[in-house]
Amino acid sequence: DTAVSQTPKYLVTQMGNDKSIKCEQNLGHDTMYWYKQDSKKFLKIMFSYNNKELIINETVPNRFSPKSPDKAHLNLHINSLELGDSAVYFCASSRGIGEYNEQFFGPGTRLTVL
């Protein structure tokens, strides 16, 4: 029944590793997002996809690569993890673009890079 789900909930890994976070929404939405929330709770958008097409790509290192296999999924792959990547990553979805629609957020994935 979860509207926006993320896996894993917690991720602890070593510097230099490659990891992925998965996001799925069952709301039938067309638009999905990735946000990063740092240790000071500051929340910043990273990427947005609409109908599997990238529409927002903020200043994010190339080590971060989003992938949308279909409208219901938006995964985030991170290469060569660094200490500064430690944060909570939130996935969100909205009905679409054209007029503002409420964004529904997932529960977050807490990434810790050691």
Partner 1 sequence: AQSVTQLGSHVSVSEGALVLLRCNYSSSVPPYLFWYVQYPNQGLQLLLKYTSAATLVKGINGFEAEFKKSETSFHLTKPSAHMSDAAEYFCAVSEDGTASKLTFGTGTRLQVTL
What does R_g of the chain's alpha carbons equal in angstroms?
13
Of 13-21, 64-72, 77-85, 105-113, which segment contacts partner 1 by CB under 8 A? 105-113
The answer to whether residues 78 and 18 touch, using CB atoms and an 8 Å cutoff, is yes
Of 12-20, 41-49, 66-74, 79-87, which segment contacts partner 1 by CB under 8 A? 41-49
* CA distance readout (Å), 54 to 28, 50, 65, 96: 18, 6, 11, 13
Place of tokens 């991170």: 78
| Helices and strands (H and E) in the chain: how many | 0, 11
60 near partner 1 (CB under 8 A) = no
70 near partner 1 (CB under 8 A) = no
Of the pair 23, 81, the CB lying nearest partner 1 is at: 23
8 near partner 1 (CB under 8 A) = no
Of 13-21, 61-69, 78-86, 101-109, which segment contacts partner 1 by CB under 8 A? 101-109
Contacts of 16 (CB under 8 A, 6+ apart): 80, 81
The least distance separating partner 1 from the CB of residue 46, rounded to whole angstroms, comes to 11
Q: Applying CB under 8 A, which residues contact partner 1?
A: 4, 31, 33, 40-45, 48, 55-56, 90, 92, 94, 97-103, 105-108
